[in-house]
Amino acid sequence: MKKIIIHFFLTLFFLSGLVNLAQAQENSQIYFFYGIGCAHCVRVEKFFEEQDILEKYPVEKKEVYFDKDNAVLFNKILTEKDVPINERGVPIIVIGDKVIVGDKPIIDNFVIEADKFLKQVNETTIGETELKKIETNKQLEPKIESDLTLIAVIGASVVDAINPCAFAVLIILMSTILAAGDGKKALKSGIAFTASIFISYFLMGLGMYKAISMGGFSDIFYKIIGWLAFALGLFNLKDYFWYGKGFLMEVPVAWRPNLKKLIKSVSSPFGAFSVGFIVSLILLPCTSGPYIVILGMLAKNSLQAKAIFYLILYNLIFVSPMILISLAVYKGFDPKKAEEMRQKRLKTLHLIAGVLMLAMSIVILNGWV
């Protein structure tokens, strides 16, 4: 049955190709209808030989006195051209919409009408080619735009993923559970905490995306998103050059003692999963900047199905370092060393985040996505 279906569709494809080819040939063909024994037709044939017409022009000769199929085609074409029956004698030349009847009119007008016709055919072909190029470019524009959106999603999620806030919270969590001497429980707790962060961030993002979409999206708001990305980039660069001066692009210092108490109260994977939802709200001021920028872009450029895909991708990249840290600690990596590494590279992380956010702002403000 599968072979029959495949053969059926291949046959249809082949036949449709033949039909299209036949139609293309018919549209660019010049027909010369004649009859054996017709003296006027002989004069036209002699003219064609002397002027080498059959070599220069796409003329198809059709004998109608003895060839039934040619006679049917003859009447079909002339009916389409509204030529009365009493005027359907040979020789006749059909050039596009032009019908020339009689030997003298054909000899006098053939070259002029044929050149005019072929010029129109060539211009139409060139026009169609250019139109196809334009249509292809129009089709490529959404693809390019989609590619830039994907790059922006990956870039912003990387900024979020290297955010010092999330690293600090996870390291404290893993250290607390490892203090009880249970490595497997620490791994499960790390994974549960990560899953909770992923779910909560995804749901918050989806809700914000729908709210922005339902509320309508203006170009002014999109510009605001671009300038927000620019500001976040500058603030992160400030934390690289002047770390600790003014405010930080991290969890507010006043919140940290309570956050540590909350995390250190966790003693099981279930507790880690539950605390993850609360912690996600605390982390939101620290990590929401790139997320809001991406949500604004998606609300402007993406339908819901594609936006959901991008949100899933974003949050998978966002939580991937948490998974890696959980696995590393489970394999014996000391959480204290992880915290030391985080502290040493804080400024570098802010530098990377700042550069990426500034690049995103340039893309948005220039309307490239």
pLDDT in tens, 260-298: 777 777 777 888 888 778 777 776 666 667 777 777 777
CA distances from 354 to 153, 188, 361, 364 (A): 15, 33, 11, 15
Confidence of residue 134 (pLDDT cuts 50, 70, 90): very low
* pLDDT at 226 exceeding the cut of 50: yes
Percent of the chain with pLDDT over 90: 8
pLDDT-wise least confident of 70-79, 109-118, 294-303, 359-368: 294-303
Number of structural domains (the chain) is 2
Last residue within a domain, chosen from 56, 87, 119: 119
Average pLDDT, the chain: 75
Q: What pLDDT score does 272 carry? A: 80
Q: What pLDDT score does 107 carry? A: 92
Confidence of residue 20 (pLDDT cuts 50, 70, 90): very low
Cβ count near 108 (within 10 Å): 13
pLDDT in tens, 84-95: 888 888 999 998
Confidence of residue 14 (pLDDT cuts 50, 70, 90): very low
In this structure, the answer to whether residues 30 and 79 fall within a common structural domain is yes
Q: What pLDDT score does 41 carry? A: 92
Domain that holds residue 223: 140-365
In this structure, the answer to whether residues 155 and 70 fall within a common structural domain is no
Q: What pLDDT score does 124 carry? A: 61
In this structure, the answer to whether residues 113 and 144 fall within a common structural domain is no
pLDDT in tens, 89-116: 899 999 888 899 999 999 999 998 888 8
pLDDT in tens, 165-185: 666 666 777 677 666 566 787
Q: What is the CATH number of the domain that holds 97?
A: 3.40.30.10
In this structure, the answer to whether residues 106 and 255 fall within a common structural domain is no
Q: What pLDDT score does 335 carry? A: 64
> Which one is predicted more confidently, 242 or 46?
46
Report the C-alpha gap between 94 and 3 in whole angstroms.
45
Note whether residue 198 is domain-resident: yes
Q: Find out whether 173 and 189 touch, Cβ atoms under 8 Å.
A: yes
In this structure, the answer to whether residues 223 and 333 fall within a common structural domain is yes
Note whether residue 127 is domain-resident: no
Q: What pLDDT score does 291 carry? A: 78
pTM score over 0.85: no
pLDDT in tens, 157-169: 877 777 666 666 6
* pLDDT at 229 exceeding the cut of 60: yes
In this structure, the answer to whether residues 76 and 184 fall within a common structural domain is no
Note whether residue 103 is domain-resident: yes
Q: What pLDDT score does 92 carry? A: 94
Confidence of residue 191 (pLDDT cuts 50, 70, 90): confident
Note whether residue 241 is domain-resident: yes
What is the average pLDDT across 219-232? 78
